[in-house]
Structure 1
Amino acid sequence: MQPIVHPVVGYVCYAAYARWNRGEPPATAPALAAVLGATVPDLIDQPLYLGGVTPVGRTIGHSLLFAVPIVTVCWLLARRADRERLGVAVAIGYGAHLATDVPWHVLAGDYDELGFLLWPATPMPPYSGVKTLGTVPGLGLEATTLWLEAVVFVCGVGLWWIDGRPGLDRLRSAIR
């Protein structure tokens, strides 16, 4: 999944949880925590890859062997500060990132690319890129994972907008 889509998916997953758990759209702080949690794997792995430290862009931050302890520590710290919702939001965001990196490989049959989930215990070959899902009948256009990601992105931003754009006020304040 493209890096820009992960924060949106993290938001959507936390928004669903907030509605299920509290019956309302997410509050600003947990919404931002979910977005941050969904961004962390790429914030860790992409600089390491671009700097030549790791051979591919999905290693440490995308590995469950690293993610589970990090999410646990975040949750424990949030709980200690009596901000348990923030810990839950980080866990949902981080988990959403890892979970949404899986389906494209499964749909394309590139199971070896799932090695990131237990890296370094399992090897991670180079990412083969955008996956083809088929052709659009009658048009001859090739449907790729980018199409689905674009739909997810637009729908997720739409939900965030309907929810009152939680977090936007805080971002504006930080910029000023």
Structure 2
Amino acid sequence: MQPVVHLAVGYLCYAAYTRWRGGTAPADLPALVAVFAAGLADFIDKPLYAAGVVPVGRTIGHSLLFAVPLIAVVWLLAARRDRRVLGVAFAIGYGSHIATDIPWHVISGDFDELGFLLWPITEMPAYTGVKPLGTVAGVEVTTLWLEAVILVAGVALWWADGRPGVDAIRRALRG
């Protein structure tokens, strides 16, 4: 999945949780935490790959061996500070990233590319990229088509929710 789409998925998942939990749109800070966490695996792995530290772009940050302890530590720190909502937002955002990197490989039958889930115990071959999903009216449909729909849905919901996080960022930038 494209990195920016992970941010939209993180928002969509957290917004669904807040509506299920309390019937409201996400608040500023938890929405920012969920979106940040949704991108964190790529923020960790892509620079390491570009620098030649790891062999592919899905390793440390995408591994459950790293993700599960990280989520637990963040949740415990948030709970200790009586900010459990931030721990939940982080868990939903980060978890959504890992979860949404799985389906394309399963649908396309590239099961070996799921090696990132337990890296470095399991190998992670080079990512083969965009996956074909079939042909509709003579047009090849790929995972990028679905990702575009997800991105638009995430941005539309964020906009409809009043763009949570924007005011918090503005306040922080003003000092």
Question: TM-score per shorter chain, which class?
Answer: over 0.9
* In 2: Cα distance, 1:114 partner to 1:131 partner: 14
1:75 counterpart residue number: 75
Render the CA deviation track for 1:65-85: whole Å, top value 9, x for unaligned. 000000000000000010000
Deviation at 1:174, TM superposition (A): 3.3
Letter in 2 for 1:168: V
2:140 counterpart residue number: 142
* In 1: Cα distance, 2:26 partner to 2:86 partner: 11
Aligned-residue Cα RMSD (Å) equals 0.8
* In 2: Cα distance, 1:132 partner to 1:97 partner: 21
Deviation at 1:171, TM superposition (A): 2.0
Letter in 1 for 2:143: T
Letter in 2 for 1:71: I
2:153 to 152, 155, 163: 155
Deviation at 1:172, TM superposition (A): 2.5
Deviation at 1:60, TM superposition (A): 0.3
Consecutive unaligned residues in structure 2, runs of 5 or more: none
Render the CA deviation track for 1:40-69: whole Å, top value 9, x for unaligned. 100110010000000000000000000000
Structural mapping, 1:94-133, within 5 Å = 94-133=94-133
Consecutive unaligned residues in structure 1, runs of 5 or more: none
- Deviation beyond 4 Å, 4+ runs, structure 1: none
Matched-pair identity in % = 68
TM-score of the aligned structures, taking structure 2 as reference length: 0.97
* In 1: Cα distance, 2:50 partner to 2:136 partner: 35
Count of aligned pairs between the two proteins: 174
